Structure 1
Amino acid sequence: MAAVSSVLRGVRPSAGRPAVVIATVPGIPSVLAGWALARWHRAHLIVEMRDAWPDLIEPSGILLRRGRAGDLRRVLRDLAARVVRRTVTRLQARADLVVTTTAAFAEVLRSRGVRNVAVVRNGTAFEPVREHAPVPLADRPLRVVYAGTVGRSQGLDVAVRAAALVQERGYAIDVRIVGHGNELEPLRRLTAELGAPVRVEPSVPSTEVRELYAWADTVIVSLRDWAPFEWTVPSKLYEVMASGVVASACLAGEAASLVSANGAGAVVPPGDVEGLADLWCGWLSDGVVPAASPDAAAWVAEHASDEVLGHRYAELLDELLPHPLLPGRADRGARY
């Protein structure tokens, strides 16, 4: 309904005639709305892929539900998934510019024949909450935080199971999962079932996230072991890298490479409960949590700060359009 409303508003004379229409995915209907408006106004179309769509359709089950093999509803959903996949892929190929948030997904799209692909990463303005130094545990529990969306994509049941395993091994750990999403209640039930030392809490204002990070010895950044997530870097990772807190990264692909290459924390394969428990037990056994490297925050400042990304987007718009949007203005980067 939001996509239809956007089209109806966009074709009104009062809306003016845009030079560029930008469609952001997800949600998927916004691509169709953007394409329709671009055609109506004879404008350039930019498709922003904030995640690895349409490849996430199948593993996420966004259009699918479990059912019997011969279930008509299942057949129709399979058909809908294929149609959506083909439609999104075709519109990506027809766009004047496709913007992705990772270099890995940009290469995937180029391999499919998308001719004009650029990378503008997710950004952050997060400031450090501590100095880059090891954190002594001093006979206290390891403090672990996750703050953000609590959905299927994050696979946070792994953290709950790992915390329970750490406790079974005789170590003290205090895990806080703070956020909003469909998996809050399932995680609460799992925590109770396992007797895990985990607190599942509602989301807090963004101003209080800094307090959570300052309390924590390590921050979880987690995605499920779905293949398309190897081309994805969660925006939460940039926040953690900027914070100075060491990451417990349950990631693969480009995101895992960023953590390892910049000394932002320790990487565990997605879904690896024992591996995550081993990591935390190792720190508890040593009595110290290693420091994150200053290289992590430096990389974010250079590649993923809001200012840098805004300038990059402005450059892309100037490359796309035959004339500057506001000719004669000296500060070209501030026009958009």
Structure 2
Amino acid sequence: MKILYISQHFPPEIGAAQARAYDMSMNLVEEGCDVTVVTSFPNNVSSKKIFQSSKHLGLNVIRTFVVQDTKKSKLRRMLNYFSFMTTSIIAGLFAKKPDVVFATTPQLFVGLSGYVLSKLKRAKFVIEVRDLWVDFAEVLNQINNKKLLTLARKLEWFLFKQADHIVVVTHGYKQYLIEKGIPENKIDVITNGVNPTETGVLVPEEGVRIRAEHGLENQFIILYAGNMGIAQGLKTVLEAANVLKDVSSITFVLIGEGAEKERLQQYQKDKDLQNVLILDSRAKQELNGFYAAADLCLVILKNHPLFEITIPSKLFDCLAMNKPILLGIGGESKEIVKSLNAGLFFEPENADSLAKVVLEATSNPKIMELLEKDVRSKMLLKYNRQELSKNLAHLLESTQDNVKGWSQ
């Protein structure tokens, strides 16, 4: 089976979307599929090239020009989206004819690129919905123009209607789309997860080194490593740190990039938070030392019903490192952590609740001892990307044989 896999985000960029696209596409190759990925040049690299083709372990990769997203300008972000849509369509025209075009969102215009290419290539069209992009854009006030929101919803609905199949990453998303009127038999759930061959092994000596390097000896460390965007609500973490600023044995370590990073740094400066360490993004291998040093791994989102049906991929990364979770999300994420007895919980966007749970964990070591340490193997029974890729391969294979079953 020949697959044209469209994802704006792909390594060497660091992030959950990039990791999922790489793992799934590589595992599809291992399943015997002929996969061509159309992606962009890394956003942090200014490229003078329009296109570049390469091959990596049997995977064909075509990179295309995009206007760089500065993370500070809505205009630049939209130009980034539109430029990838345009150049990915052009690049896709020169790729070999696929059986299936698989477009992974967000952002939504990747889906439009996939739809156009599926028509031009006379291939089946499958769209992957990794978050409810339009709904989140409204909730997070990223799009506050009613006309733009209406147009975005029309585009979203058009893509859902035209797709031969829809892949979502949570059961909550599936139910949400069904309630919106999309037929249940058109939607399949293929969750996030981890590639067991890619996750690192914790080396205690590396944790000791990280603690010494950053002056964190004898500290109880709460680690957050990931996107510092609006959705994460990381100001709550700094507010909790402010509540705990007189407790000298606790440090919050935040690693990553994102639209909110500068505001978080300014808040830290304004409040003189000595118990917060904000670091630049690190490669996966470098993060292993921080995971080894951490006592709790923080997974957090803002407080909204939409986030209760969202499962951040970061949750699986932390579980794969056998680290207890400090979770500020309800719904499906909470049920996963509860089922594994793998973490502690606080109310989303409630700094006092977060501070209280951290204090309880540090003052009562038995709380930490009761948490299941060997969660990795249990988690991998359901959230192994190698197995999830097999499910995706079977789904795409079956899509070839099915005629479009939804029209209205």
Q: TM-score, normalised by structure 2?
A: 0.69
Which of 386, 390, 394 is matched with 1:311 structurally? 390
Assess if the C-alpha contact under 8 Å between 1:24 and 1:49 holds in 2. yes
Which amino acid in structure 1 is aligned with residue 109 of structure 2?
P
Task: Figure out how many residues of one structure are paired with residues of the other and give that number.
Answer: 301
Counterpart position of 1:92: 160
Assess if the C-alpha contact under 8 Å between 1:52 and 1:229 holds in 2. no
2:343 pairs with 1:265: yes
Shift of 1:79: 0.5
Determine helix, strand or coil for the equivalent of 2:325. strand
2:94 pairs with 1:3: no
2:381 pairs with 1:302: yes
Q: CA RMSD in A?
A: 2.1
Whole-angstrom distance in 2 between the partners of 1:130 and 1:233: 27
Shift of 1:130: 7.6
- Give the direction of change, closer, same or farther, for the CA distance of 1:283–1:294 in structure 2 (3 Å limit): closer
Q: TM-score, normalised by structure 1?
A: 0.84
2:178 pairs with 1:110: yes
Counterpart position of 2:104: 24
Assess if the C-alpha contact under 8 Å between 1:45 and 1:97 holds in 2. yes
Whole-angstrom distance in 2 between the partners of 1:16 and 1:228: 39
- Give the direction of change, closer, same or farther, for the CA distance of 1:55–1:299 in structure 2 (3 Å limit): farther
2:305 pairs with 1:227: yes
Counterpart position of 1:293: 372
Which amino acid in structure 1 is aligned with residue 100 of structure 2?
V
Whole-angstrom distance in 2 between the partners of 1:300 and 1:111: 29
Query: Aligned ranges for residues 134-283 of structure 1 at < 5 Å?
Result: 140-168=218-246, 170=247, 172-196=249-273, 197-283=275-361
Question: For structure 1, which runs of at least 5 residues remain unmatched after alignment?
Answer: 65-76, 132-138, 324-336
Shift of 1:112: 2.1
Shift of 1:171: 5.4
Determine helix, strand or coil for the equivalent of 1:321. helix
Whole-angstrom distance in 1 between the partners of 2:119 and 2:347: 44
Shift of 1:127: 4.4
Whole-angstrom distance in 2 between the partners of 1:142 and 1:288: 15
1:1-60 CA-partner distances (Å, limit 9, x unpaired) = 11111222333xx43322111111111111111111112222111011111233212012
Counterpart position of 2:399: 320
- Give the direction of change, closer, same or farther, for the CA distance of 1:101–1:295 in structure 2 (3 Å limit): farther
Whole-angstrom distance in 1 between the partners of 2:373 and 2:166: 32
Shift of 1:287: 4.1
Assess if the C-alpha contact under 8 Å between 2:323 and 2:373 holds in 1. no
Aligned residues: percent identity?
26
Which amino acid in structure 2 is aligned with residue 240 of structure 1?
C
1:74-132 CA-partner distances (Å, limit 9, x unpaired) = xxx2201111012202311331111111111011112223231111112213245389x
